[in-house]
Amino acid sequence: MRDEDGGVHALEDLCSHDEIALSDGDVEGCTIECWKHGSQFDLVTGRPLQLPAVLPVRVFPVRIDESRGEILVDPSEAPAT
């Protein structure tokens, strides 16, 4: 997903509070908000910034291949939460 400044981020698509798809939430600045209960997560670190979530979501390294116009994500490189 892209933040408001155009930065590209990849993170686990499940809210750590209630397993709701974060991709259905709203991005504001460099955060994403879970649409169901309002938990907010930092797009860079995956840290929860708003209750009720208290556990982070995994973030994945992103590489942009501009020559091919592709955004590449390798979920195997994600740090453990």
* CATH, residue 63: 2.102.10.10
DSSP output for the chain:
-B-TTS-B-EE-SB-TTT--BGGGSEEETTEEE-TTT--EEETTT--EEETT--S---EE-EEEETTTTEEEE-GGGPPP-
The pLDDT confidence band at residue 19, using thresholds 50, 70 and 90, is: confident
pLDDT computed for residue 74 by the predictor: 82
User: How many domains is the chain partitioned into structurally?
Assistant: 1
> How much is the pTM?
0.85
Tens digit of each residue's pLDDT (9 = 90 or more) over 26-68: 999 999 999 999 999 999 999 999 999 999 999 999 998 888 8
Q: Is residue 54 part of a domain?
A: yes
Range of the domain at 30: 10-73
**pLDDT score of 81:** 54
Q: Does residue 78 form part of some domain?
A: no
Q: Is the pLDDT reported for residue 8 higher than 60?
A: yes
Rg (CA), the chain: 13
Structure-model confidence comparison of residues 79 and 7, the more confident one:
7
In a domain, 55, yes or no: yes
Residue 33 inside a domain? The answer is yes
In a domain, 2, yes or no: no
